[in-house]
Structure 1
């Protein structure tokens, strides 16, 4: 694993996240994201809420930044795809947080900002 990207890998690899705020997006209550990091490569699978199944592929771009492409199939049968650029942080409880700026590439228009927080069992 590339040590230049290890802080992001340590905060994301094999961790699950829930939506904290996503007013303009489809993911919401019940949507869970599971990330895997290999060097600077990132993959994620997500589902729940209005998302039947989705996945992401991306890369680590800095000590606390990532960029992703995402696609999903909704529970209504819509296929959507988009991009996002994010910052990895920590909240006061020590949980990893993700803050994204994102936009649609296919199936919808517009974009927004969203926040996610690590699920701790």
Structure 2
């Protein structure tokens, strides 16, 4: 029997994701996210597109949900931070998908929704 933590870990741990939709945010084409899961702890690094470097830290909150705090440095030298709540899914070909509701905490205002898909070899 799978636990809530193992379901999120199974779909995120050591996997890479690309942005499919993020009209209100900075990450976009060329931004790649790399996730790791250790127990109930979720972390990631990301870069590409307008993002020079970024990282996230958070926790599993349910069978297919997690929450994160994120920070990044842009190519323009902006230092930004925010929060997000994510949901793990699976698309029609079996790739992991992520959908987020997010908002800025520092460096910008507003927020939005974004979607990501797993990059496969």
Measured against the shorter chain, the TM-score band is over 0.9
Any conservation in 1 of the 2:100–2:115 contact (CA below 8 Å)?
A: yes
Q: What residue number does 1:36 align with?
A: 36
Q: Distance in 1 between matches of 2:54 and 2:107?
A: 14
Q: CA RMSD in A?
A: 1.0
Q: Distance in 2 between matches of 1:4 and 1:89?
A: 14
TM-score (norm: length of structure 1): 0.97
Q: Distance in 1 between matches of 2:97 and 2:4?
A: 20
Q: What residue number does 1:93 align with?
A: 93
**Runs of 4+ with deviation above 6 angstroms:** none
Gaps of 5+ in 2: none
* 2:73 counterpart of 1:73: yes
TM-score (norm: length of structure 2): 0.97
Gaps of 5+ in 1: none
Q: What residue number does 2:26 align with?
A: 26
Q: Distance in 2 between matches of 1:73 and 1:86?
A: 22
Any conservation in 1 of the 2:68–2:85 contact (CA below 8 Å)?
A: yes
